[in-house]
Structure 1
Amino acid sequence: MEKVKIYGEREERGKGESARNGGDVGEQLPPGLQRELLPRHVAVIMDGNSRWARMKGQPTWAGHEAGYRSLQEMVKLSCRWGIQVLTVYAFSFENWLRPKVEVDFLMMLIEGCLKENIKYFLR
């Protein structure tokens, strides 16, 4: 067994692990990434979608949709690269203070992401 240090903890990864638990999934990684050094758990804080849209002169909803597309890509890459757990902080307490129509839109995006990616979550 090979030992890999991730975020101050030691984890063991054996040769011949399946794609389900972080082994070789057959996809070429981008240059500089090493499969055996990838973490098994990644946490993401989704923030700044509205600011991103404003900076680009677009409406707020366009920023939320861009964040949604980024989240979809993170889910798919996590699955293909063998990352077992993806924790996403996508809706803060302060988000409840936004206009109702925006909150409803965000809830629709989150629900859509869950439904569209269930096959990846189950893997």
Structure 2
Amino acid sequence: MEATDLTANIEIAHPNGTESLEDLKTFLVRNPETRKMGRIRWESAAPKIGELGDGLDILTLAVTGVLALPGFIHAVSSWIKARGNEEDCVQIRLGTIEIVVSGTEDPAQIKRLADALKAAYPEEGPRGSSQ
């Protein structure tokens, strides 16, 4: 089995859309720790029924293991906290599991959020075409 068979895509969405996500992408790409976690790229979300969609509107992080998840969640939490907007949040989805990061997480909360995502990580490679 090739190493790429174990890659899973984490979807990252922001309520304010792509402008905030572009800021997050810049932060993640410039951060030496998150640069090593996986490949960050834009993807299209499935449009809602009756809508055309917004084009490239979701960031994805392709990871090859669960060890990166706590560090990734911590980085996103730090980015939100640095923005100074108490109502800001980011939705992160892996498979069928979705978590919300708000910038107020302590280390124990980050571990719980990472554990939730780990439950969706494919043990023997991606299942289906969505991962």
Query: What TM-score comes out, normalization by structure 1 length?
Result: 0.28
Give the structure with the higher percent strand. Answer: 2
Query: What TM-score comes out, normalization by structure 2 length?
Result: 0.26
**Higher gyration radius (CA):** 1
